[in-house]
Amino acid sequence: MSASLRALSPPGSKTYADAMAKREEAVEGTSGVEPRGYEESRAALADVVAALEAGDMSLEDALTLWERGETYANECERWLLGAQQRLTEQSAEPSD
């Protein structure tokens, strides 16, 4: 189910509870280890987006979560730019 559909689920439903648990984890930073790779950063960003879409949080919590999402988005962008640079360098090298 997409994050936007989870956000529209009524309170008390399993998907609503899942979205609220993810929001709590993201706001409180209880996920433990910071993301290290692209996949981890992307998954963390998806969790932040789902929590923001679910709403039901204070403005302060939403802003904190948004800032965390920006950090994850920047990590993803750095990974993708690095991969693009490596591909460009590989294609510029003469093949044997």
Task: Note the pLDDT of residue 6.
Answer: 43
Give the pTM.
0.61
Task: Note the pLDDT of residue 1.
Answer: 38
Q: Could you give the CA distance from residue 44 to residue 38 in angstroms, rounded to a whole number?
A: 10
Q: What is the per-residue pLDDT across 44-95, written as a single tens digit (0 to 9) for each?
A: 999 999 999 999 899 999 999 999 999 999 999 999 999 999 999 999 887 7
Mean pLDDT of 12-37: 58
Domain boundaries, the chain: 3-92
Q: Could you give the CA distance from residue 79 to residue 10 in angstroms, rounded to a whole number?
A: 37
Task: Note the pLDDT of residue 54.
Answer: 93
Q: What is the DSSP string of the chain?
A: --HHHHHHSPTTSHHHHHHHHHHHHHHHTTT-SPP-SHHHHHHHHHHHHHHHHH--S-HHHHHHHHHHHHHHHHHHHHHHHHHHHHHHHHHHSPP-
Cα Rg of the chain (Å, integer): 17
Task: Note the pLDDT of residue 2.
Answer: 40
Task: Note the pLDDT of residue 21.
Answer: 64
